[in-house]
Chains A and B, each alone.
Chain A
Amino acid sequence: MANHKKYWKSTAELDSNNAFVEDLKGREFVEKLPEDVFLGNKQAMNDSKTNRRDFLKFVGFSTAAASLAACEGPVHKSIPYVVQPEEIRPGISNYYATTVADGFDLASILVKTREGRPIKIENNPDNPINCSANARVQASVLSLYDKLRLKGPNRSGTPVSWTTLLEQSRQQLDKLQFEGAQVVLLTQSFASPSTYDLINQLLTRYSNIKHITYDAVSYSHALDAFEKAYGERVLPTYDFSKAETIVSLDADFIGDWQGGRHSADYVKTRVPLKKNGKAKMSTHFQFEANMTLSGAAADKRVPMSAAQQKQVLAALYSELTNSQASGDQTIQKWAKVAAKYLRKSGKKGVVITGLPSVEAQRIALAINQELGSIVIDTQHTTTIRQGSANQLTQLVDDLNSGLVQGIITVGVNPVYTLANGDQFAAGLDKVKFSLSFSMNNDETASKAQWVAATPHYLESWGDVEFKTNYFGLTQPTIRPLFDTKQFQDVLLSWLEKDTNYRDELRTYWEQNILNGESWNKALHDGFHVHEKPIKKKNYSDSVSDALDTLASSEQDGYSLQLYTKTGLGDGQQANNPWLQELPDPITRMTWDNYLTVSKYDAEIIGLWNETQSDGALNGGFAKITVGSSSLTVPVLIQPGQANGTFGLAFGYGRQAGMKSEMQTGVNAYKLYNNFSTVQPVVIEAIGGTHEFACTQLQNTLMGREDIVKETTLEIFNTKDRNYFNAVPVVSKNHIETLVTSPEVDIWDQFDRSVGHHFNLSIDLNACTGCGACVVACHAENNVPVVGKREIRKSRDMHWLRIDRYYSSQETFEGDNDTVNEISGLGESLTTFSSLEEPSANPQVTFQPIMCQHCNHAPCETVCPVAATSHGRQGQNHMAYNRCVGTRYCANNCPYKVRRFNWFLYNNNDEFDFHMNNDLGRMVLNPDVVVRSRGVMEKCSLCIQMTQKTILDAKLEGRQIKDGDWQCACSKACSNGAITFGDINDKTSRVAKSLESDRMYHLLESVGTKPNVQYQVKVRNTETS
């Protein structure tokens, strides 16, 4: 056995003194049944007015009443169309290609609509560049049905008609132009050629209007650096599939860095495929302060503060150019190691950085120039981020000084997202004319004089330039739900043009982009590539000054590292319950943001976390002060956090236009001074206890540590399967027999060789933990949202969860002997804990877990009513209408994947999320039933999708190809970490992956024979 690592899920687990954790490990259920509360209290029992007899009477009466009430069926009305649109057939989904570009996320997507309602977002597989949907884009369909969206235009809260708004606003603009007063048009980064064309027309007509672009999370430094080096204020693009060595300094490129979307390309170099018996992987160094998705995926993650990273960058540049790495020993060591790999890879190496420093960005560009990197593309650039930090600072001053007399905001919420949002709000009160284009009555809209209600992107037209020469189109997939108008249509009205934006867009495309090709084709595909020659951008920058600045950067005291979380991003969709309930991939936390601290710092400052006896997590509070502003935030001790640094996520703490349940966390933008994600900070511990809703210590592994298997690339290349991925053996008549052998099986095998036999394969190497599959599963299967209170009680309903395991590499080798001497489970639990100290820098493994669809399923044998049974095609079926809610199945499931409906989650005011209003329920998938209270539910391997595939094939009278089989999760995973198919089709990908050396099943020794395969994680650890 190659792998004797200890996997753990929170620092508390490593603390051998923590009695709670030990207690939890010994118990299968975190909650103790509260029978003592009433049975133990004799007095209360005797005093109780309701005796057993009364109780029986009530039961009898309610049963009789219920059955009487059930006798009369409700009358259902069916209302057909008067004129049915040709393309709509009830019961059949239509797909439309469109593009989302909300200023933060960008994706080329297919929208699934049923009877005219968009119900799901899927990736557009035909788009030549990777623009797949992340968790937020997957969830954005629910934001369309947000009950709190603006229903129409208003003036200071009073509804007005569009005619009034359009006329009055134009009069105002005319008047301000006549007065010569400046008006600012503050917009998001559109990256939309046709919109910019319209804005330019507006600027020509009104010479007093100034256009300022603003990104809530700024990339101003990177833009400025690129402008200095290449003469254009744009961002370069990257193709990580060409990379051999990636050195990232604080750039979470698997997360949201520069708009995200890099992970699919990156993963192509991370899956070891053996060619001539040898597999290759790229090498990935990550220097960072917070634990990010990129850090989790890295081969070598080095936790360090931003100042140290700058020094590493400077040293790396010096080492690469003249082999003279500067700085102290650690810095030099890492610079030399990274430089060695970069040199070896040559043009296949790349250095990227997310440090908020123009100098650092320039050095990174200089290194890539030096390497001649082909990973970075400085010619095909992108304009998805254009915001300028300086212009914004100036704007706030101008608003307050009275220089700017009118302001129009489009798609931005500066009152919330600016560090000095209060000053911006004060400025808004002073101007003569303020107009906000917004979907929600957010902080800025509620302060503006006029509010123009805008449609959701699924109701809008639009276009976007992904990168130079690559264009995308946005088309409406539903008629506007409310009385809304697009910004572009309002622009046309101000320009007194008698057209609408759709026609204008088409004309613009036909004249400038399509180059004679069909508009309908571009609209159908959702994208268009127009290969026209690009004006070459040449590198010209001398970085010696920048080098000095970086090399001499020092950190005094603590620094705060602001970041965006997978769930909420910049906070635009904070009112989306799917995103609020999506566990953060790293911390497994829902419904909150928090200050991440290292264990070392926590002990010094006196910050704490505590696991309650029921498995819920509590944390203390910290007061963090940056400059003049301070916030009180709950604390989470984060393994891998660089000492002296603290992390805090943007996007939370929104109040205006939000449901009270969604007003979670604190607003980190208040500390985002000068648009720098790194801030000097003063931290002090303060009293109080915060209750987290964390899915972390719940459902412990009971010491079954072989659930995650991993090995190194070296072992993978040199040793055979039995070394790194041995099948467990059991003793039968003192002969060691493989658990997969029928000899040791207590069940008979069922012949599954006929027909389809579905398998799901999960590649632990390709999974970056991004969470897109979790949201896709919610959308496809009508999984309810249960809220923070219930999650805290470990009653989450996620059918698919992504478990995150930490492991400590440093103790890897020496432990083997000790581990071999352990006998028995009890000893292993205590010995493991004493083996390792909580590692400052753990390795991370993500493991998506859903129902394993065991061929010998333990759940099926214990169901008293046969509500769960096995299908011939390998799925473990769950008949909800048959379930009586005994929960035996969940108790007997070794993987803990069954979810119980403790309450009625739809039409229930106690759970006031999307399923509690008609608008929100429009997102439900009509092919999947909405479960009621008291029944068990779980992953069905999206049987509605496989059935649809089969039924379609029968209708068309054809065989089914491998790629036709899909689950919601496999479809959502652009990394290819999840593959679904039929193993009886020997040419299918899952049939091949079943034969792979890396394939294993979870808890194989239990003998459940699951239909979900996992591929052993291979790490490229030769760097250490």
Chain B
Amino acid sequence: MVKSGDPQAVAIYEEYNKSVMTAFPQLSNEDIDNILAYTDYTPPAPAIPAVVATTAASGTDDTTSTLLLGVLVLVLVVLVVMLFLVTQTLRKIAIANGIEVETSKPKRKPLWKVYINNSFLVFSTVLFLLFSSAYFAYGYMMQVGIDQGYMPVQPIHYSHKIHSGANEIECKYCHSSARVSKHSGIPSLNVCMNCHMNIAEYNGEEDLEKGYTKEFYTNEIKKLYKAVGWDEDNQRYTGETQPVKWVRIHNLPDFVYFNHAQHVDVAGIDCQKCHGPVEEMEIMYQHSPLTMGWCIDCHRESNVDLENNEYYEKVHAELSKKYGVEKLTVAQMGGLECGKCHY
């Protein structure tokens, strides 16, 4: 068309620095028509009314049961009042007729007095209470500061389930510094844009019950565009950025040194070992307790991966001779020493 001198074609040709569009000779005209038809197709709107109906039905169920309960309680109260009135009337009649009603029963020691007088019982109960409350208090105290299951709401609803699960993107593609640094690093937005430059809307599976519709996800992608300053219409960066303030989920105290690279790269541990089934997490949460005991347990059990690492050669030979074992655990390599993590 350029050669034929079409003015519009020439203008486009000039605008894009004289680069020619890919011709796709493998596509027949029919194919092209199909593609056009596919892109023009609008999926039918999901059956939202049905959902509304079910919620309404369950609502009425609830009201009936509450009503029933209320009626029952009322009947009981009426019965109690009636009984009370009956006894009172009977008593009045009896007094009027001069019949003495025996009020006092034969004297028996009340149970609590028996209990109080038995010092052994008191002692054992107190002991029991003390121990059990100490047990619960300890349990409560020990979970202070442990945020296992912490699942904060993030400024952009980023689904690991879609990225890591459905699309099978390797963890370290985005968290690349986990390979080299102590931090796994939250990917910078330009990493997101590597893909999302071309993926502007969501077309995958939906979870309608939780409201995760395609619009919902597409809207989240728009949030990314806003943050990174991407002008979708003109396909260019505006330069107006709004850095995303993610809420940090895994918080180690300042006095602990943890190095991702050592675990991910040197030891070759899967991310999932500590972070759990991330590929199934719609919303990211803290899978492990991240307590010192949890770290230590693993260091006691895990063997050091010595394959093809010149650093370990000499140490391993000497240490395995010393301990008389074939494989060394992290603990045997000195992985339980305070100073290895606390400095």
Binding site for B on A (CB under 8 A): 67, 70-71, 73, 75-84, 89-92, 751, 753-755, 869, 871-873, 875, 877-882, 927-930, 940, 943-944, 947, 950-951, 953-955, 957-960
Closest partner residue, chain B, to A881 (CB atom): B255
Does the CB pair B190–A84 fall under 8 Å?
yes
Does A90 lie within 8 Å of B145, measured CB to CB?
no
Q: With A877-B342, A957-B308 in contact, is A91–B181 under 8 Å at CB?
A: yes
B228-266 toward A: CB 8 Å interface, digit per residue (1/0)? 110000000000010111111001011101010110011
A89–B247 CB distance below 8 A: no
* CB-defined contacts of B339 to chain A, threshold 8 Å: 869, 871, 875, 877-879, 940, 943
Chain B residues with CB below 8 A from A957, complex form: 308-311
Q: Is B112 an interface residue (CB 8 A)?
A: no
Is residue B91 within 8 Å, beta carbon to beta carbon, of the partner chain? no
CB distance from A629 to the nearest CB of B (A): 52
Contact B181 A89 (CB under 8 A): yes
Set A70, A872, A947: member contacting B144, Cβ < 8 A: A70
Distance (whole angstroms) from the CB of B171 to the closest CB of chain A: 16
Q: Verify if B187 is at the interface (C-beta below 8 Å from A).
A: yes
Question: Quick one: given A70-B145, A77-B247, A755-B315, are A928 and B343 in contact (CB under 8 Å)?
Answer: yes
Interfacial chain A residues near B310, Cβ < 8 Å? 957-959
Chain A residue with the shortest CB-CB distance to B146: A73
A113 → chain B, closest Cβ, in Å? 14
| B-side contacts of A940, CB under 8 Å | 339, 343
Q: Which of A73, A81, A871 has the most CB of B within 10 A?
A: A81
When distances are taken between beta carbons in the complex, the residues of chain B under 8 Å from A930 are: 254
**Which partner residue on chain B sits nearest A81 by CB separation?**
B188
Q: Is the CB of A78 within 8 A of B338?
A: no
- Interface positions of B from 251 to 287, Cβ below 8 Å from A: 251, 253-255, 257, 259, 261-262, 265-266
How many residues from B make CB contacts under 8 Å with A?
55
User: What per-residue 1/0 map shows which CB atoms of B205-228 lie under 8 Å from chain A?
Assistant: 000000000000000000000011
Q: Which residues of B contact A84 (CB under 8 A)?
A: 188, 190-191
Q: Please encode chain B, from 167 to 205, with 1 for each CB lying within 8 Å of some chain A CB and 0 for all others.
A: 000000000010011110111111100000000000000
Whether the Cβ atoms of B311 and A754 lie closer than 8 Å is no
B325 within 8 A of A: no
Residues A754 and B338 in contact in the complex (CB < 8 Å), given A80-B243, A958-B310: no
**Beta-carbon contact of B187 and A881 below 8 Å:** no
The smallest C-beta distance from A960 to any residue of chain B, in angstroms, reads 7
Interchain CB contact under 8 A, A73 and B177: no
- A929 CB to closest chain B CB (Å) equals 5
Q: State the CA gap A881–B343 with chains docked (Å).
A: 10
CB–CB B245/A959 < 8 A: no
Known: A80-B189, A92-B180, A880-B342. 19 other contacts (CB 8 A): A75-B152, A78-B186, A79-B245, A80-B246, A82-B188, A91-B182, A91-B185, A753-B318, A755-B319, A755-B334, A871-B338, A872-B337, A877-B337, A877-B338, A879-B339, A881-B255, A881-B342, A947-B343, A957-B311
Q: How far is the CB of A495 from chain B (nearest CB, A)?
A: 32
Decide if B262 touches A82 in the complex (CB within 8 Å).
Answer: no
Least CB distance, B6 to chain A, in whole angstroms? 39
Give Cα distance in the complex from A67 to B177, angstroms. Answer: 36
B246 touches A91 (CB 8 A): no
User: Which residues on A sit within 8 Å (CB–CB) of B342?
Assistant: 877, 879-882, 929
Chain B residues within an 8 Å CB radius of A929: 254-255, 342-343
Give the docked Cα–Cα distance between A957 and B261 (Å): 13
From the candidates B145, B312, B338, name the one contacting A882 in the complex (CB within 8 A). B338
Q: Which of chain B's residues have a CB closer than 8 A to the CB of A78?
A: 186, 245-248
Residue in B144, B246, B261, B322 whose beta carbon sits within 8 Å of that of A951 in the complex: B261
Chain A residues with CB under 8 Å of B255's CB are 879-881, 929
Q: Known: A80-B243, A955-B266. Contact between A92 and B181, CB under 8 A? A: yes
Q: Once the chains are docked, how many angstroms separate the CA of A78 from the CA of B342? A: 23
Question: Among A91, A950, A954, which residue has its beta carbon within 8 angstroms of that of B177?
Answer: A91
Q: A871 with B315: in contact, given A92-B180, A944-B257, A957-B309 (CB under 8 Å)?
A: no
Closest A residue to B313 by beta carbon equals A959
Q: A832 to B194, alpha carbons, bound, how many Å?
A: 78
The answer to whether B181 and A879 have CB atoms under 8 Å apart is no
With A91-B183, A954-B262: A82-B189 Cβ-Cβ less than 8 Å: yes
8 Å CB interface, B312-343 against A: 312-315, 318-319, 322, 334, 337-340, 342-343
Give bound CA distance, A966 to B184, whole Å.
26
Which of A755, A879, A950 contacts B338, CB < 8 Å?
A879
Which chain A residue lies CB-closest to B318? A754
Q: Are B190 and A82 in contact (CB under 8 A)?
A: yes
Which residues of the other chain, B, contact A753 by a CB distance below 8 angstroms? 318
Is B315's CB under 8 angstroms from A80's CB? no
Interface centre among A754, A875, A927, A928 (most CB of B within 10 A): A754
> What residue in chain A is nearest B262 (Cβ atoms)?
A951
> Are B261 and A76 within 8 A (Cβ)?
no
The 8 Å CB contact of A954, one of B187, B190, B309, is: B309
Q: Kindly state whether residue B141 has any CB partner on chain A within 8 Å.
A: yes
CB of B183 within 8 A of CB of A90, answer yes
| B245 cross-chain contacts in A, Cβ below 8 A | 77-79
User: Which listed residue (A76, A90, A959) contacts B251, Cβ 8 A?
Assistant: A76
**Judging by beta carbons under 8 Å apart, are B246 and A943 in contact?**
no
Closest approach, in angstroms, between the C-beta of A93 and any C-beta of chain B?
10
Query: Using Cβ atoms and an 8 Å threshold, which residues of chain A touch B309?
Result: 954, 957
Q: In whole angstroms, what is the CA distance A950 to B335 when docked?
A: 13
Q: Mark B152-174, 1 if CB is under 8 A from A, else 0.
A: 10000000000000000000000
Chain A proximity of B21: nearest CB distance (Å): 29
Residues of B within 8 A of A878 (CB): 338-339
B181's contact among A90, A880, A953, by CB below 8 Å, is which?
A: A90
| Alpha-carbon gap, A953 to B187, bound state (A) | 26
Cα separation A70 to B253 with both chains bound (whole Å): 13
- Determine whether the beta carbon of B147 is less than 8 Å from that of A82: no
Q: Considering only CB atoms, which chain B residue lies closest to A957 in the complex?
A: B309
Could you tell me the distance in whole angstroms from the C-beta of B242 to the nearest C-beta in chain A?
A: 8
**Residues in A neighbouring B186, C-beta threshold 8 A:** 78, 80
Residue A80 contacts which of B181, B185, B251 (CB distance < 8 angstroms)? B185
Complexed CA–CA distance, A71 and B143 (Å): 9
CA distance A930 to B185 in the complex (A): 22
- Min CB distance, B307 to chain A, in Å? 10
**B183, B266, B309, B311: which has the most chain A beta carbons within 10 Å?**
B311
CB neighbours of B177 from chain A (8 A)? 89-92
10 interchain residue pairs of minimum CB distance? A877-B339, A91-B181, A84-B188, A76-B248, A81-B188, A91-B183, A91-B182, A879-B338, A80-B186, A82-B241
In the bound assembly, the distance between CA atoms of A30 and B339 in angstroms comes to: 32
